[in-house]
Chains A and B, each alone.
Chain A
């Protein structure tokens, strides 16, 4: 009880309690956590809608507890539950956050084939009426190929989920799985440009349906700036491709640029639902070389100024007739990073009319119809993202990518924990063999464990992810900790002042040695903070946190504990 009155012990205990509170462990937590929701999927259209936030503490994430009144304990349960759905089925989802029940409808997957017949369809179009001097909706008819639309299955619900986190410990990429990309600006950039770029990338990824990500600016010793992007959990190669693109989008008629990507010219981009998806008017088909091509389309609204530019550009064009259709002599060409994506024929009725609603389309290719469809949808998402966010102010080059599959990451985590436990047992055994006195060795093990907990607690608090290099840092810190404990133990047992009644005297030289070791380790870690785009920053930071906790909190407490145990006997 006396121990509880000692301020050093009190500080240690308080810090321990605080760390455990920050880690917030819940070993039995069930359910699956929602990492993100893909656009245009059933999940994105749920009633009420899901709110996903980035940078939540792991334990604060929304968990799916029930799907169609079926309890979801683990990821397997979830996968099993979604494997037995039917298209158009109405399902309910219960989460831990909202007392309300989410309702959503399973979206069907279609296979569309073009038939050798045509049919007439009615459609509505915005047309500029010169006499009224405003755009009006006009219903028109057109002749299109007849298509057969078959339901061949159902689309994924669109939840990106993982087993419910059992604590607030954030696993770094090499332990949790995910993708890390390091981007380097190709030209000299101002801090403002870089900041816009960073925000833009973050926004692009959010539109892509990824919210569990971190976009950071880093600098190396020579002052070279980098942008590092970390996306947890998923391997998304198309995302990596998106990051490398500047995304300069231009729509041109002839040589006139009509509008460009970004909010100024394009206030609205349809991301899903009925106004975006595969173009069933232009179904998938085979090229002469046997590859498949599919077409996507989505609608956008362009600003009044852009619409006027288009009207001016089309005014100059001639009308050409092809069969029953009349077109303008020049198409609307869509360029992405100076490469032609698609050419859209413009109907003759649009000549000189400022249109604000435009349908954008483009192709996707693949060796099979399935692959082409997937590619078309990926291209659509990319283009939607770029149109919405505009181009990056600088051109970026991908200089480093790391991808770790979540399965592999999990195996590494288990292994790292095993190594940690074995290391602590080894230390305990060796220390006991050396001193043959549990009063010396038991506190060393207790202190080691508390140090590990405090380091992890602080990492959880500052939302720092533990990766393998951070674990290496924890090993250094614990190792240095044990070393200092040994110095203290030896000083107490065999030190020159061992018969001294004054504990301060006894430990004076021990603390000199410990402080010396502390400062040398800290200064060796400092250069790593910025060297090499901060790739070893995790290691340096964890080491410094760990040894600082050791020197200022746990070491003094250890001395007090040993002293009390020794004084009692």
Chain B
């Protein structure tokens, strides 16, 4: 979609190889795009009112997380890898999850047993048995072999002691916190200005809070992989914010709306591409680990659209206005 006209191209071809020094132009923050029509006109006029949406969502998310913490003592539902216990995965298209669950509950009364389906393209691929059992693997396997004699060739077991998993959860939370602090330092270092940097950090923080709340609402049990996904989110979320801030503050030409528009075009392409991959991955992957990563990224990327293109834009526009650089 090259915008060069034929004439310009010819001119370029004939032109000297030495770069032409551009005339320095005065920033055009103040000029308002009057010719804008349609979406961007509406966006320009209403984005600050739209700020209510991300604000409400964040408040709601915080309430959800507080309620969750009050009820369970932990701000997320922790999977076996973070609480301690055993996860057995079996690939089998026909084995019935409720039947197995019933059977195992009878066999091991008093223990927490949860059997869920592992599916790909909406079809059953296998089952996942989660329990707080520790040493009874042989017994469980022999029960399963009644349903499918090949089970012993086709299973995976993850078992983790509760002391390690408690410690592990604490550790990765600290890691998440340190990662966030490091990220904030880098952002401050990049832009060297208070408000824009805070806006970026706020966007990333909001993104995390909302993602955690949605994870809770969906009843997802966070595993180690989920933590990795949350860390990925910090990266992806900050990407678009850095893009917006750079385009808005460091460009030399175009008014604020033009710059926002350009940033938005690039940023939404980025997010759409990532969303495409995540959705395809979610449909196609049969591993529980990858599925959880993709689910969390899906939630986070969707939330990121709000926080970058409404919340962060609003903060930056207000910042520009205060500085007298806009309107």
Is B250 touching A512 in the complex (CB atoms < 8 A)?
yes
Please measure, in the bound complex, the distance between the C-alpha atom of A260 and the C-alpha atom of B159, giving whole angstroms: 34
Is A426 touching B235 in the complex (CB atoms < 8 A)?
no
User: What chain B residues lie within 8 Å of A422 (beta carbons)?
Assistant: 280-281, 284
Q: How many A-B pairs with Cβ below 8 Å?
A: 256
Is A526 touching B179 in the complex (CB atoms < 8 A)?
yes
User: What chain B residues lie within 8 Å of A569 (beta carbons)?
Assistant: 2, 9
B273-327 residues at the A interface, CB under 8 angstroms? 273-274, 276-277, 280-281, 284-287, 289-290, 293
User: What chain B residues lie within 8 Å of A482 (beta carbons)?
Assistant: 270, 273-274
A528 to chain B: closest CB distance in Å? 6
The yes or no answer to B89 lying at the interface (CB within 8 A) is: yes
* Cβ contact of B273, chosen from A411, A431, A436, A495, cutoff 8 A: A431
Given the interface pairs A412-B287, A422-B284, A490-B266, the reply to whether A516 lies near B20 with Cβ below 8 Å is: no
User: What chain B residues lie within 8 Å of A499 (beta carbons)?
Assistant: 8
Q: 1/0 per residue A465-501: CB within 8 Å of B?
A: 0001101100110011011001100100111111111
User: Nearest CB to that of B229 among chain A residues?
Assistant: A472
Please measure, in the bound complex, the distance between the C-alpha atom of A483 and the C-alpha atom of B236, giving whole angstroms: 9
Please measure, in the bound complex, the distance between the C-alpha atom of A184 and the C-alpha atom of B180, giving whole angstroms: 29
User: Nearest CB to that of B285 among chain A residues?
Assistant: A419
Is A427 touching B186 in the complex (CB atoms < 8 A)?
no
Q: Is the interface of B mostly helix, strand, loop or mixed?
A: helix
Q: 1/0 per residue A509-532: CB within 8 Å of B?
A: 100110011011101111110011
Please measure, in the bound complex, the distance between the C-alpha atom of A505 and the C-alpha atom of B231, giving whole angstroms: 33
Please measure, in the bound complex, the distance between the C-alpha atom of A125 and the C-alpha atom of B225, giving whole angstroms: 61
The yes or no answer to A408 lying at the interface (CB within 8 A) is: yes
The yes or no answer to A224 lying at the interface (CB within 8 A) is: yes
User: What chain A residues lie within 8 Å of B243 (beta carbons)?
Assistant: 487, 513, 517
Given the interface pairs A408-B91, A437-B1, the reply to whether A490 lies near B168 with Cβ below 8 Å is: no
User: What chain B residues lie within 8 Å of A38 (beta carbons)?
Assistant: none
* Cβ contact of B89, chosen from A408, A426, A437, A490, cutoff 8 A: A408
User: Nearest CB to that of B265 among chain A residues?
Assistant: A490
Q: Is the interface of A mostly helix, strand, loop or mixed?
A: helix
Is B290 touching A426 in the complex (CB atoms < 8 A)?
no
Q: 1/0 per residue B40-84: CB within 8 Å of A?
A: 000000000000000000000000000000000000000000000
User: What chain B residues lie within 8 Å of A184 (beta carbons)?
Assistant: 164
The yes or no answer to A144 lying at the interface (CB within 8 A) is: no
The yes or no answer to A358 lying at the interface (CB within 8 A) is: no
Is B289 touching A469 in the complex (CB atoms < 8 A)?
yes
B residues at A contact (CB < 8 Å):
1-3, 8-9, 12, 15, 17-20, 22, 89, 91, 120, 152-161, 163-165, 167-168, 171-172, 174-176, 178-180, 182-183, 185-187, 190, 224-225, 227-229, 231-232, 234-236, 238-239, 242-243, 246-247, 250-254, 262, 265-266, 269-270, 272-274, 276-277, 280-281, 284-287, 289-290, 293
A residues at B contact (CB < 8 Å):
174, 182, 184, 220-222, 224, 397-405, 407-409, 411-412, 415-416, 418-419, 422-423, 426-427, 429-431, 434-437, 468-469, 471-472, 475-476, 479-480, 482-483, 486-487, 490, 493-502, 505, 509, 512-513, 516-517, 519-521, 523-528, 531-533, 535-536, 539, 566, 569
4 tightest CB-CB pairs across the interface, nearest first? A523-B182, A502-B19, A531-B175, A527-B175
User: Apart from A497-B22, A519-B186, what 15 extra A-B contacts exist at CB < 8 Å?
Assistant: A220-B167, A399-B163, A405-B156, A408-B91, A416-B287, A423-B277, A426-B273, A426-B276, A427-B273, A472-B232, A479-B277, A520-B239, A527-B178, A532-B171, A532-B172
